[in-house]
Amino acid sequence: MSCWIRRGRVERDERQLPVDRDTVETTDMNYYEQNRQTFLEGLQTFLRIPSISTLSEHKPDIRRAAEFVRNELSAAGLVHAELIEGEGNPLVYAEWTGAPGKPTLLLYGHYDVQPPDPLDEWKSPPFEPTVRGNDIFARGSSDDKGQTYILVKAVEGLLKTKGRLPVNVKFLIEGEEETGGEHIEAYVSSRPARLKSDAAVICDTEMFAPELPTICVGLRGIVYAELHVEGANHDLHSGIYGGAAPNPMQAMAEILTALKDRNGHIQIPGFYDRVVPPSAKEREAWARLPFDEAEYTHKEMGAKELVGEPEIPLLERLWARPTLEVHGIRGGFTGEGAKTVIPARAMAKISTRLVADQRPDESAAQLKEAIRRATPKGVTAELKLIHSAAPSLVNPDNPFVRAAADAMTEVFGKQTVYIRSGGSIPIVGCFDQCLGIPSVMLGFGLPDDNLHAPNEKFHLPNFYRGIEAVAHYLETLGR
């Protein structure tokens, strides 16, 4: 679940793939340049595995993807490469700890992907990775197989060219990120000694604008749930019973409308109480980011106009305000033609994104209570929690964050910017709470990568350059 929001103009021709070689002194750039075709072929193999974690029929593909990552890490020269089996999808672990006295990094990514539907909107099949121009199109190409593979290949390059790493690393790659990642959290909390590190590096985010090095220092949390509404215990004829029968879809509409007003203000008592507004400094920095609202609205989002709390600036709405969204809704007859039925039940998938210092458990309870109050006569409504994650904020003055910013600035030749994300990476909160370490979020996705949507892509220059940037970051830290 890549998390970015950012945007801006592409100001130079990326096909040139400029690398400021002067600033990258230590890493053996020849190795990375010579092996691009091999990196691409490896990524394609990874992308062909439909490792959709939200659909149980893909369990075998999940395993294949986990084994692929384990084998890659082992071949890269890491040790103790293994699948960690538990209740959920396997975790992949591997380490290299031959640099005593140097920092230890916990490298995180995920090998699971979102479902590809609606299938008919893909220009090439989602699990047949297809290169068009400088992009590779496939489900998971940007979120997060491409970025996970950057970490693997960066470490592999250092080990192959130098025989050692400048720092210690522990890889922990999961297969349930798109379903909430509860099992990795259980594992992390139970194995703090094995996972002991100085910082986590997460490669699952985006650049704010093309070629603008970006570090994410804030994430929204999430509470994702199913709302089930039931009226009568069987479907009823709308002529015979209409005027007396409870309609669960109308009731669903009434509940959803009661929870959020037309200006995007969530109408759940107490919901905003813990929301911490961004500092004046942060707001000023956000206002300076290169951002073309018209292009964002019409081209990137493909929308007519933006919605949401009108009194709050856009980036703050996306990064520092909670939301409530419907993801899907189903009920009654939606086939061809007409069926005059009042159905017995309806279901909606909903979530709320949370910001610091909201707490998932408390927010879920507030949501549940608000639904109870909003439920009209004649129906029952039940909220089934699917997953949740706490919001998180990282201190940008942390030395691992600063070093990452410096390395990115060197490789990309531009000042690294700090932003937040509207998305959720649940593991960040877990690393903070269970291991006491900050997360450094380096991202190489682009704003138009179509995450969670048809035609997801990854920009190949970012893929190649990302490998180099991570290698350079490790070298910077090792000095």
Instruction: Work out how close the CB of 309 gets to a second copy at its nearest, in angstroms, rounded to a whole number.
Output: 7
What's the CA gap between 338 and 255, in Å, rounded? 26
Selection from 434, 258, 270, 437 nearest residue 363 by Cα: 270
Residue from 125, 331, 396, 413 binding a second copy (CB under 8 A) = 331
313 binding a second copy? (CB under 8 A): no
Phi, psi of 363 (to 5 degrees): -65, -40
416/424 with CB nearer a second copy: 424
What's the CA gap between 334 and 258, in Å, rounded? 25
Phi, psi of 28 (to 5 degrees): -80, 95
Q: Hey, which residues between 153 and 192 contact a second copy (CB under 8 A)?
A: 178-180
Sign of the alpha-carbon torsion through 397, 467, 420, 13: positive
Q: Which residues pair with 204 in a beta bridge?
A: none
Q: Are 137 and 130 in contact (CB under 8 A)?
A: yes
353 binding a second copy? (CB under 8 A): yes
With a CB cutoff of 8 Å and minimum separation 6, the contacts of 370 are: 258, 259, 267, 268, 269, 271
Helix (H) / strand (E) element for 202: namely strand 199-202
Instruction: Work out how close the CB of 7 gets to a second copy at its nearest, in angstroms, rounded to a whole number.
Output: 10
With a CB cutoff of 8 Å and minimum separation 6, the contacts of 400 are: 103, 105, 198, 199, 438, 440, 477
Instruction: Work out how close the CB of 463 gets to a second copy at its nearest, in angstroms, rounded to a whole number.
Output: 20
231 binding a second copy? (CB under 8 A): yes
Instruction: Work out how close the CB of 266 gets to a second copy at its nearest, in angstroms, rounded to a whole number.
Output: 11
241 binding a second copy? (CB under 8 A): yes
What's the CA gap between 287 and 318, in Å, rounded? 13
Residue from 249, 268, 417, 470 binding a second copy (CB under 8 A) = 249
x-marked contacts with a second copy along 208-227 as a string, rule CB under 8 A? ------------x-x-x---
Selection from 297, 357, 348 nearest residue 325 by Cα: 348
4/137 with CB nearer a second copy: 4
Instruction: Work out how close the CB of 51 gets to a second copy at its nearest, in angstroms, rounded to a whole number.
Output: 14
> Which of these ranges, 17-25, 64-72, 315-323, 410-418, lies near a second copy under the rule CB under 8 A?
315-323
x-marked contacts with a second copy along 7-36 as a string, rule CB under 8 A? ------------------------------
32/458 with CB nearer a second copy: 458
340 binding a second copy? (CB under 8 A): yes
378 binding a second copy? (CB under 8 A): yes
What's the CA gap between 443 and 202, in Å, rounded? 8
262 binding a second copy? (CB under 8 A): yes
Tokens describing residue 174:
């999961």
252 binding a second copy? (CB under 8 A): yes
347 binding a second copy? (CB under 8 A): yes
Residue from 13, 22, 336, 397 binding a second copy (CB under 8 A) = 336
Q: Hey, which residues between 287 and 306 contact a second copy (CB under 8 A)?
A: 301-306
Q: Hey, which residues between 429 and 468 contact a second copy (CB under 8 A)?
A: 450-454
What's the CA gap between 38 and 201, in Å, rounded? 24
Instruction: Work out how close the CB of 134 gets to a second copy at its nearest, in angstroms, rounded to a whole number.
Output: 21
Q: How would DSSP label each residue in 351-412?
A: EEEE-TT--HHHHHHHHHHHHHHHPPTT-EEEEEEEEEE--EE--TTSHHHHHHHHHHHHHH
Instruction: Work out how close the CB of 329 gets to a second copy at its nearest, in angstroms, rounded to a whole number.
Output: 5
Cis status of the peptide bond prior to 360, with omega within 30 of 0: no
Residue from 77, 125, 376, 413 binding a second copy (CB under 8 A) = 376
What's the CA gap between 327 and 53, in Å, rounded? 17
Q: Hey, which residues between 58 and 117 contact a second copy (CB under 8 A)?
A: 114-115, 117
Q: Hey, which residues between 39 and 58 contact a second copy (CB under 8 A)?
A: 53-56
Rounded to 5°, angle at Cα 54 from 105 and 235: 155
x-marked contacts with a second copy along 405-434 as a string, rule CB under 8 A? ----------------xxxx----------
Instruction: Work out how close the CB of 326 gets to a second copy at its nearest, in angstroms, rounded to a whole number.
Output: 4
Residue from 148, 323, 366, 416 binding a second copy (CB under 8 A) = 323
Residue from 97, 250, 398, 409 binding a second copy (CB under 8 A) = 250
